[in-house]
C-alpha cells in the first residue's frame, strides 16, 4: 500500500464510515482487475458519498474503478493505475417507480435479477439479456451498454435509458434527461456515459422506460448443419412478418454448452438456430406454423420446446461468458460486430482460421443484430496470430473486433479494442472534460481513454 492510499483509508472513512472502507487482502483481491489489486475497497451508500469519494480521489490523484459484481470488470485494457475499488453494492434502492407510466429510477448497484423480480410483479420488464445475467448490476449493464440476443426486437440499454444522475470527479452530482419517456431538453449526456466503461463519471441513479412482459413465449430450435442453411433461415425469418424477440445461431460446441445442466442437455453435433417469439397463443401458433413451413423449405425440421425450461437455456445463452468459461478457465472471448448480413461469411472464415491453428471455437451469433461472440477454447502459440487474423476478417467485412476476455498477460499482445477512428481526438477531449485528472478507470477504454 502506498503512503497516499494509507492516508486515504482514514480520510475516506470520514466520508463513508470506517466500516465501509476495507483494506484487507481478500476484499481487495476479489476486485482485482487484470491482476491489479486495488489498495482499498470503498462501499458508498449514497450518491453524495460517491461524489465525496470521487472528489477526494481526484484531489489526491488516486485511480478509481467503479464496480459491483465484477461480471464485466475483465473487459478493457489493464488499468494504468488502480487505487480504489468503488463497489456500489450498497446502492441498490429503487427511488421512483410508476408501473402505470412504465418508468422506474433505481440505483446502480441493484442486481438485474432483483430488478426484474421487482418490476415483474406488475407484469413489466426491462427486456435485456446482458452478460452476467441476473448477477449483472444496473450500473454495469448501462456503463457497458451490455446486450444479448433480445436486442433484435427491443434494442439496447441505449434505447431504454431515459435519464440518469452522475457523480463527477469534481464531486458534483449532475442530472441528464429525466423520468419521462420523451425528452429533448439539453444535451443527452447519458449517451456518453452509456458504454463508457466507467471512464467519465459514476452513474448514481438511472431511469429506464419499461415494457410489458410478453403474455406467452415460444422457443423453437432449428438445426442448421451448413452455414448456408443458417443464412437462408435468417433471411427468411427477417423478411417474414414474424417478429422474433431473439434469435441466435449457435455452433455445435456453443449449443452443447448452453444446454448443459438444463432439461435439454445433449451433445449437439451440428449448429442450431434458437429462436423465441412472444405473444398470445394465437400469435405463437401462427409463428409455429410458419416457422415449420419455412424450415421445410430450407430442409430443416423445426422443434418447439417447452417454454419454461427453454428460459433456462436462454438465461445461459445471455450469459455466454459464464458458459464458455465452464469449458475452459483460460478461454479467450472475442466480440465481433458487423453489418448483420456478413455474419455467416465471417463465421466461415473464423472456422477455417481456427481449424488451421488447431484452436476449437464456440460461436454465438445474434441473428439480425450483427453481433458474434467467439470463445477460443484452446490456448496455443497461435492464439495471438489467430485473433489478429480474425480482426482483419471482421474489418474486411465492414465490422470490428473487441477482445472481451483473456488472461491479463495476453492483453499486452492482443489489442483489446482495436485502433480508434478519426473521432478519437474528440473522445480524448471529452474524457479530459469529465475527468481532468484521469482518475476514473484510467486507460481501460479504446486508445487508452
Partner 1 sequence: MKSNALIRDLGRIVGSDAVLSSPEDLMLYEYDALSSATQPQAVVFPTSTKQVVGVVRMASQAGLPVVARGAGTGLSGGAVITEGGIVIVTSRMKKILEIDLENRRARVQPGVVNLDLTLAVSDDGYYFAPDPSSQKACTIGGNVAENAAGPHTLAYGVTTNHVLGLEVVLPDGEVIHTGAKYWDRPGYDLTGFIVGSEGTLGIVTEIIVRLSRKPESVETLLAVYNSVLDATRTVAAITARGITPAALEMMDGFTLRAVEEATHAGYPMDSAAVLLIEVEGLREAVEENAEQAEAVCRANHAREVRRAKDTEERDLLWRGRKNAFGAIGRISPSYYVQDGVIPRTRLPEMLAYIEEVGRTYGLRIGNMFHAGDGNLHPLLMFDARDKEQSERVVKAAKAILSKCVEMGGSITGEHGVGIEKKDLMPLMFSDDDLGMMERLKNVFDPRGDLNPGKLLPAGRMCGELRVQVSRGGEV
Instruction: Choose, by CB under 8 A, the member of 85, 88, 194, 310 that binds partner 1.
Output: 194
Instruction: Choose, by CB under 8 A, the member of 62, 85, 202, 427 that binds partner 1.
Output: 427
Write down the least CB distance from residue 252 to partner 1, Å: 26
Would you tell me how many other CB atoms lie within 10 Å of the CB of residue 188?
Answer: 14
Write down the least CB distance from residue 392 to partner 1, Å: 16
Q: What's the burial of 25, exposed, middle or buried (CB within 10 Å: 0-12/13-18/19+)?
A: exposed
Q: What's the CA gap between 47 and 336, in Å, rounded?
A: 35
Read off the C-alpha cell for 395.
Answer: 474489418
Write down the least CB distance from residue 136 to partner 1, Å: 17
Give the residue with the Cβ less far from partner 1, 280 or 392: 280
Coil, strand or helix at 247: strand
Q: What's the CA gap between 141 and 71, in Å, rounded?
A: 10
Give the residue with the Cβ less far from partner 1, 156 or 268: 156
Q: What's the CA gap between 349 and 400, in Å, rounded?
A: 15
Question: Would you give the binding string for partner 1 spanning residues 208-227, x where CB under 8 A is met?
Answer: ---xxx-x------------
Q: Which of 50, 81, 62, 101 is nearest to 210 (CA)?
A: 101
Residue 402 CA to chain centroid, in angstroms? 12
Give residues 119-158 in contact with partner 1 (rule: CB under 8 A).
123, 145, 147, 151, 155-156, 158
Give residues 344-403 in contact with partner 1 (rule: CB under 8 A).
369-371, 398-400, 402
Told to check if 97 binds partner 1 by CB under 8 A, we report no
Read off the C-alpha cell for 173.
Answer: 452530482
Read off the C-alpha cell for 50.
Answer: 460517491
Write down the least CB distance from residue 166 to partner 1, Å: 8
Instruction: Choose, by CB under 8 A, the member of 100, 267, 329, 381 that binds partner 1.
Output: 100
Q: What phi and psi values does residue 403 have, to the nearest 5 degrees? A: -85, 105
Give the residue with the Cβ less far from partner 1, 408 or 425: 425
Give the residue with the Cβ less far from partner 1, 69 or 176: 176
Give residues 38-67 in contact with partner 1 (rule: CB under 8 A).
none
Told to check if 200 binds partner 1 by CB under 8 A, we report yes
Give the residue with the Cβ less far from partner 1, 81 or 175: 175
Q: What's the CA gap between 222 and 271, in Å, rounded?
A: 9
Q: What's the burial of 88, exposed, middle or buried (CB within 10 Å: 0-12/13-18/19+)?
A: buried
Give the residue with the Cβ less far from partner 1, 225 or 447: 447
Give the residue with the Cβ less far from partner 1, 191 or 260: 191
Candidate ranges 17-25, 175-183, 265-273, 378-386; the one touching partner 1 (CB under 8 A): 175-183
Give residues 273-332 in contact with partner 1 (rule: CB under 8 A).
279-280, 282-283, 286
Helix axes 343-357, 383-396, angle to 10 degrees: 160
Instruction: Choose, by CB under 8 A, the member of 17, 35, 120, 186 that binds partner 1.
Output: 186
Instruction: Choose, by CB under 8 A, the member of 159, 216, 311, 378 that binds partner 1.
Output: 159
How many helices, marked H, and strands, marked E, lie in the chain? 16, 19
Q: What's the CA gap between 411 and 401, in Å, rounded?
A: 14
Write down the least CB distance from residue 417 to partner 1, Å: 4
Amino acid at each position: 500500500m502506498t503512503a497516499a492510499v494509507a492516508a486515504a483509508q482514514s480520510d475516506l472513512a470520514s466520508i463513508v464510515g470506517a466500516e465501509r472502507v476495507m483494506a484487507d487482502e481478500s476484499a481487495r483481491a476479489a476486485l482485482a482487475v487484470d491482476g491489479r489489486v486495488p489498495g482499498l475497497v470503498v462501499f458508498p451508500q449514497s450518491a453524495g458519498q460517491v461524489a465525496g469519494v470521487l472528489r477526494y480521489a481526484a484531489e489526491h490523484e488516486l485511480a478509481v474503478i467503479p464496480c459491483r459484481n465484477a461480471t464485466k470488470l475483465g473487459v478493457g485494457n489493464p488499468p494504468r493505475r488502480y487505487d480504489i475499488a468503488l463497489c456500489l453494492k450498497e446502492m441498490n434502492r429503487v427511488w421512483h417507480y410508476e408501473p402505470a407510466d412504465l418508468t422506474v429510477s433505481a440505483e446502480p448497484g441493484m442486481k438485474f435479477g432483483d430488478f426484474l423480480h421487482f418490476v415483474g410483479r406488475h407484469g413489466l420488464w426491462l427486456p435485456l439479456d446482458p452478460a452476467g445475467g441476473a448477477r449483472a448490476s444496473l450500473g454495469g449493464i448501462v456503463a457497458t451498454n451490455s446486450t444479448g440476443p433480445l436486442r433484435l426486437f427491443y434494442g439496447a440499454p441505449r434505447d431504454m435509458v431515459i435519464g440518469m444522475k452522475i457523480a463527477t470527479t469534481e464531486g458534483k452530482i449532475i442530472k441528464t434527461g429525466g423520468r419521462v419517456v420523451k425528452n429533448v431538453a439539453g444535451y443527452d449526456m447519458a449517451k456518453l456515459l452509456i458504454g463508457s466503461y466507467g471512464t467519465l463519471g459514476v452513474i448514481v441513479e438511472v431511469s429506464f422506460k419499461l415494457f410489458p412482459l410478453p403474455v406467452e413465449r415460444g422457443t423453437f430450435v432449428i438445426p442448421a448443419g451448413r452455414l448456408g442453411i443458417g443464412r437462408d433461415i435468417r433471411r427468411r425469418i427477417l423478411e417474414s412478418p414474424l417478429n422474433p424477440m431473439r434469435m441466435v445461431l449457435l455452433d455445435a460446441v456453443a449449443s452443447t454448452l448452453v444446454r448443459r445442466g438444463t432439461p435439454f442437455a445433449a451433445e449437439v453435433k451440428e449448429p442450431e438456430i434458437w429462436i423465441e417469439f412472444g405473444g398470445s397463443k394465437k400469435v405463437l401458433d401462427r409463428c409455429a406454423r410458419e416457422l415449420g413451413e419455412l424450415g421445410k423449405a430450407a430442409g430443416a425440421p423445426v422443434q418447439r420446446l417447452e417454454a419454461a425450461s427453454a428460459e433456462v437455456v436462454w438465461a445461459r445463452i445471455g450469459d455466454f461468458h459464464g458458459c464458455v468459461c465452464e469449458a475452459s478457465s483460460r478461454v479467450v472471448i472475442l466480440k465481433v460486430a458487423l453489418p448483420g448480413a456478413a455474419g455467416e461469411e465471417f463465421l466461415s472464415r473464423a472456422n477455417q482460421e481456427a481449424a488451421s491453428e488447431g484452436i476449437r471455437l464456440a460461436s454465438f451469433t445474434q441473428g439480425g443484430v450483427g453481433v458474434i461472440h467467439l470463445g477460443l477454447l484452446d490456448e496455443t502459440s497461435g492464439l495471438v496470430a489467430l485473433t489478429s487474423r480474425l480482426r482483419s476478417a471482421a474489418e474486411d467485412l465492414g465490422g470490428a473486433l473487441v477482445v472481451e476476455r483473456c488472461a491479463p498477460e495476453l492483453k499486452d499482445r492482443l489489442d483489446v479494442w482495436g485502433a480508434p477512428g478519426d473521432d478519437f481526438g474528440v473522445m480524448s477531449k471529452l474524457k479530459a472534460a469529465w475527468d481532468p485528472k484521469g482518475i476514473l478507470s484510467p486507460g481501460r477504454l479504446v486508445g487508452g481513454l
